[in-house]
């Protein structure tokens, strides 16, 4: 089973070698406009949510090894099809393959690592394994985004094609995994999924304090989802970034995110969790407000700053929820919170894309920042500030 862990590090690196990270906006805009990007994003999130449910049941039936093989097969096919796309329609067609494979991967990979360790009585090492996996993932993001910019100059679809090839290599490597003897993850399909969401929602609203916290984290969380999913990349495009430059910027941002993630606890020690979240939210708002007045260099700095504070917000927000939820409901509640954050974007992505196309991403960012400032001020005035005391 130790072999599984060693292989898993390579699989994580191969899976997350997303050479299209810095250029996907440029590629999509070859076939569509901002509204079309919103449609693609909406379809992608909705399909991912829908596929997550049945793939969990399938994994229980066929095992984690076969599920990962299927995952890499379909994500590989999806990326290859992306690379050879000739129209908006083929982009949408390709997404279904990618989302289906991603659902298998997201519901299986960590469970495979944990069960492999647990089967040899080493499950306490999972935190270390997860940390190493995250490091390899961030390295993959950074290196592939830089390379992807140059690949795009050679052939626009090449970054996607190379990702597909990396996933096919991962599929072959997955054949060498050993199916864990212990199966700690079970899924019962749609009924369990909806029951879990209801239970998670109850935990997020079980008393006045958690309701106030959930409201704040959810509203700001929706803004960070909009930024990370589409807006930041569209802003880079409007700031005048080239594909190669965007690749370098993306790499730097992920390296900074890695550093910040490791040092966020030091910031919360000085400010406290709630003040840290409030500071991060405020700075996110002001970086959005500044968007219409920025160019290449200043835009680069602002995007980096916003990504840093988005990362801080996500990390500390998760900690705040964890501290207030019973351990037996923790995983379910965190899953529900992420569901609540992403669902509005899934259904509003088309409208958001149309709005960005109408007024431009820069002005959209300005108005989004203004709305966030209004919410923050209203929240601080109306809501009892006792919840901010650590």
Mean pLDDT of 313-341: 70
* pLDDT: which is higher, 6 or 120: 6
- Whether the predicted pLDDT of 283 surpasses 90: yes
Per residue in 83-94, pLDDT tens? Answer: 999 999 999 999
What is residue 183's predicted lDDT score, i.e. its pLDDT? Answer: 58
* pLDDT: which is higher, 313 or 134: 313
* pLDDT: which is higher, 340 or 348: 348
What is residue 187's predicted lDDT score, i.e. its pLDDT? Answer: 53
Q: How far apart are CA 100 and CA 108, in angstroms?
A: 13
Mean pLDDT of 237-263: 85
3-state DSSP assignment of residue 187: coil
Mean pLDDT of 43-70: 81
- Whether the predicted pLDDT of 75 surpasses 90: yes
Determine the distance from the C-alpha atom of residue 251 to the mean position of all C-alpha atoms in its chain, rounded to a whole number: 16
- Compute, in degrees rounded to 10, the torsion defined by CA atoms 103, 108, 113, 119: 170
- Whether the predicted pLDDT of 117 surpasses 90: no
What is residue 80's predicted lDDT score, i.e. its pLDDT? Answer: 96
Per residue in 212-224, pLDDT tens? Answer: 888 888 899 999 9
Mean pLDDT of 25-51: 89
What is residue 266's predicted lDDT score, i.e. its pLDDT? Answer: 75
Give this prediction's pTM: 0.82
The dihedral region occupied by 341, where left means phi > 0, alpha psi between -120 and 50, and beta the remainder, is: alpha
The CATH number assigned to the domain with range 195-388 reads 1.20.1250.20
Mean pLDDT of 103-119: 82
Of the spans 5-9, 52-56, 128-132, 365-369, which averages the highest pLDDT? 365-369
Long-range contacts of the stretch 372-375 (C-beta < 8 A, 24+): 372/220, 372/223, 372/281, 372/284, 372/285, 372/288, 373/282, 373/285, 373/286, 373/289, 375/219, 375/220
Mean pLDDT in the chain?
84
The encoded tokens of residue 246 equal: 């965007």
Homologous superfamily (CATH) of 2-179 is MFS general substrate transporter like domains (1.20.1250.20)
Mean pLDDT of 120-131: 75
Q: How far apart are CA 165 and CA 144, in angstroms?
A: 13
- Whether the predicted pLDDT of 191 surpasses 60: no
What Å distances lie between residue 302 and 292, 295, 316, 350, CA to CA?
12, 10, 21, 26
What is residue 188's predicted lDDT score, i.e. its pLDDT? Answer: 52
Per residue in 341-376, pLDDT tens? Answer: 888 888 888 899 999 999 999 999 999 999 999 999
Mean pLDDT of 65-72: 92
Residue 313 neighbours by CB under 8 Å, 6+ apart: 220, 221, 224, 277, 280, 281, 284
2-179 and 195-388 in the same fold: yes
- Cβ–Cβ < 8 Å for 157, 27: yes
Domain ranges of the chain: 2-179, 195-388
What is residue 264's predicted lDDT score, i.e. its pLDDT? Answer: 75
Q: What values do phi and psi take at 134, rounded to 5? A: -65, -40
The encoded tokens of residue 258 equal: 């890695």
- Cβ–Cβ < 8 Å for 243, 149: yes
Q: How far apart are CA 39 and CA 41, in angstroms?
A: 5
């Amino acid at each position: 089973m130790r072999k599984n862990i060693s292989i898993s590090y390579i699989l994580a690196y191969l899976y997350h070698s997303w050479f299209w990270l810095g250029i996907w906006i440029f590629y999509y805009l070859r076939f569509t406009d901002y509204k079309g990007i919103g449609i693609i994003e909406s379809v992608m999130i909705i399909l991912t949510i829908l596929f997550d449910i049945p793939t969990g049941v399938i994994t229980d039936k066929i095992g984690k090894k076969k599920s990962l093989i299927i995952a890499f097969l379909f994500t590989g096919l999806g990326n290859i099809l992306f690379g050879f796309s000739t129209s908006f329609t083929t982009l949408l067609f390709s997404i279904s393959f990618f989302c289906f494979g991603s659902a298998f991967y997201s519901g299986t990979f960590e469970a495979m690592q944990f069960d492999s360790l647990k089967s040899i009585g080493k499950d306490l090492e999972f935190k270390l394994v997860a940390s190493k996996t995250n490091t390899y993932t961030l390295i993959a993001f950074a290196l592939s985004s830089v390379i992807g910019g140059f690949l795009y100059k050679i052939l626009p679809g090449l970054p996607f094609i190379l990702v597909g090839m990396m996933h096919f290599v991962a599929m072959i490597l997955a054949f060498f995994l050993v199916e864990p003897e212990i199966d700690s993850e079970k899924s019962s399909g749609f009924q369990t999924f909806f029951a879990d969401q209801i239970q998670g929602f109850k935990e997020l609203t079980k008393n006045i304090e958690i309701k106030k916290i959930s409201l704040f984290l959810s509203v700001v969380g929706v803004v960070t989802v909009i930024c990370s999913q589409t807006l930041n990349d569209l802003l880079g495009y409007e700031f005048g970034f080239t594909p190669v430059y965007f690749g370098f910027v993306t790499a730097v941002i992920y390296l900074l995110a890695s550093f910040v993630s490791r040092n966020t606890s030091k910031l919360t020690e000085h400010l406290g969790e709630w003040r840290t979240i409030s500071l991060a939210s405020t700075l996110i708002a002001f970086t959005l407000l500044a968007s219409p007045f920025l160019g290449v260099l200043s835009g680069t700095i602002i995007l980096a700053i916003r990504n840093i504070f988005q990362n801080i917000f996500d990390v500390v927000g998760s900690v705040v929820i964890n501290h207030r939820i019973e351990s037996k409901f923790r995983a379910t509640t965190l899953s529900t919170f992420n569901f609540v954050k992403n669902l509005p974007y899934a259904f509003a992505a088309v409208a958001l894309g149309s709005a960005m196309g109408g007024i431009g991403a820069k002005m959209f960012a300005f108005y989004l920042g203004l709305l966030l400032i209004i919410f923050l001020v209203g929240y601080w005035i109306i809501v009892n500030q006792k919840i901010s005391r650590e």
